[in-house]
Amino acid sequence: MNEIQKAKIITTTLNKIYPRIVVPLKSRNVFTLLISVLLSAQCTDVNVNNVTKKIYPKYYTPHHFKKLGRKKIEKLIKKIGIFRIKAKSIFHLSKILIEKYNGKVPKSFEDLEKLPGVGHKTASVVMSQGFGYPAFPIDTHIHRLAQRWGLTNGKSVEQTEKDLKRLFPKNKWNKLHLQIIYYGREYCKARDCYGLTCKICTTCYPNRKKPLITKKA
């Protein structure tokens, strides 16, 4: 079975399981989406949502967070991993958005990736989920599953992104990356399946006998 055939099986299976997809991180606007994605580094979406549901009703613009200041932001997000570093990034990026972008989140990868605490994955999520621009953010689930499904060699996150963009139509990226994340959380977990038991793994590799060890993101 070649990559194109596997890609079709994956798309069909995921569309049956997840015909409609919900963005896992809760947000009020594009700015709060940016903050939530930044907070989600080394932290679960559930934990982020539990924290931000107490923040966003009152604070949801760069001006709000600039006025709060770094120490108060720290107190608001203290249940999040590496909260001091994230608070510093949130405070400074809020100032930059006000000073350079009139309080708006920029609509380009280049400008987003210049903001404190914002890497390519965070920028990709904001471009995809915030602005509807075709992007393929690669998280640990997608990186793991792409290897189990034989779509990439796992050399790097950058390589995985290139391989998936090559195999799947551009107009499917935004929905597909979320479908793969949900599938990785429910059916093809890090400490489960190992390329041997879930529907997609067994369909793509019916004769696989040994657990597949994947490279981490």
Residue in 26, 139, 172, 175 annotated catalytic: 139
Catalytic residue list contains 192: no
Alpha-carbon span 177 to 125, nearest angstrom: 10
Alpha-carbon span 169 to 186, nearest angstrom: 24
End-to-end Cα spacing for the chain: 26
Alpha-carbon span 33 to 27, nearest angstrom: 5
What is the DSSP code (8-state) at residue 171?
A: G
Q: Which two tokens stand for residue 45?
A: 């979406």
Alpha-carbon span 143 to 49, nearest angstrom: 23
Catalytic residue list contains 121: yes
Residue in 6, 86, 121, 163 annotated catalytic: 121
Residue length of the chain: 217
Q: Which residues are catalytic?
A: 121, 139
